[in-house]
Chains A and B, each alone.
Chain A
Amino acid sequence: MTDKLPKLLKDAIEQNKPDVKVITENLKLPWLKLDLTFPNMPTYWPTYLENIEGKDWRGQWKFEEDSKSNYQVKDWNGGLLFGPQPHDEFLKTTQDIRFDVDEDSRCKKYRKDFKFDWYVNKSDLVRKWIGTIIPDEDLNLVNTYYIPPGGYVFPHKDYPHDGVGLAKIYIAAVWDKGNVFGIYGCGNIPIKQGDVFLLNNYTLPHWVYNGSNTKRCVIDIGANLNSPQLKDLVETSFKKYFQNNE
């Protein structure tokens, strides 16, 4: 039926399909739910959170104010699972990049200039699970973000160095009802325990709040979305989300 069509239209009709580059760079979707579920790890998180007690994630990344004095952040903290090593050397060398570019973007930009490795050992359950989805060479950064009940981060916007949109893989590792991840003009992301999303934290202001009665913990992954495994995951998820009538 398409034989007599002009070649341009014929090719477009026959060959058009979801493309990870278009989805993540050109489309400014606020989020995309990935076709993946993170397993429940009820014994892992209490121990993990005990271990990061007293550490200051913002201080580690040399943000201007530490978590305690910054009123825009209440009780928010995080831990570094995978990233540049040695970390201090990375910060020193990359300090010339624009001040408002976030740490994910910074790691992506300098991925080939530093050694990147895990900060947790091979038996770590989160490391093992991530390893089944993304090979180490395609990881840029893996953080955990933790907020106790009542904690929050004020509305803010992050800035990339390369104009990307959807970029962060965001895993709701411990997420009770009452938690909020709001994106301006879009409402709250419909996140449930175990969900894995691809988030765009660059186009719109966003904020988080733990209105539940339990500690909330998420895993945030910066990765090469064009790697074969992730490309397939993103494109399949996009199809499921937007073309589920097929």
Chain B
Amino acid sequence: MKIVLEVLAQFKNTAPNIKVSSNVDNCEFNLENKTNTIECNLNLQSSDTISIEFLNKDDNEDNVVNLKKMIVDDIDMQHFIYDGEFFPTYNTNWYNEQTIKPPKSYKPGTEMRHNGKWILNVQLPIWKMMMDNWINDDRQTS
């Protein structure tokens, strides 16, 4: 299934590398531009995950990956990308220096400032998943 991502990259010398995966498939990208539109085909099961792994955090220059848009099977996931959760793999030295420990995960977590994996649970068909999420959202409804 076609996955298109719009990802902003912040860096001086070390362009971020990311791995985009489903449960059974993956592809890697080097984000060389400030704004990157990348495309890959992933084999997606009826209940699966789409994940983005930030692989080469450079703590000296503070490179950052920021997911702005995700299009799955030609459907813009819109605000549903904020349902994804980022699980950072903190630099051990940095982590030990923190008197107040940072959280194990962030949700929304589209801005990745550490190595780690952003994970979005998906169900196929995508359009139906979006509608079901709307039905079950926690805002006051009728």
Contacts and interface: CB of A to CB of B under 8 A. Distances in A.
Given A184-B134, A203-B135, 8 more contacts: A157-B141, A161-B140, A184-B131, A200-B142, A204-B134, A205-B130, A205-B131, A205-B135
A159 B135 CA distance: 11
A205 B142 contact: no
Chain A's interface: helix, strand, loop or mixed, by majority? Answer: loop
Interface of B: 127, 130-131, 134-135, 137, 139-142
A185 B137 CA distance: 16
Closest A-B pairs by Cβ, 4 of them: A202-B142, A184-B131, A205-B134, A165-B142
A178 interface: no
Contact of A159 (B127, B131, B139): B139
14 contacts: A155-B130, A155-B134, A159-B141, A160-B140, A163-B140, A164-B142, A165-B142, A184-B131, A184-B135, A200-B142, A202-B141, A204-B131, A204-B134, A205-B130
Among B130, B134, B137, B141: residue with most chain A CB under 10 A:
B141
B131 A155 contact: yes
Nearest to B133: A205
Among B127, B137, B140: residue with most chain A CB under 10 A:
B140
A157 B140 contact: no
Contact of B135 (A156, A161, A163, A204): A204
A124 interface: no
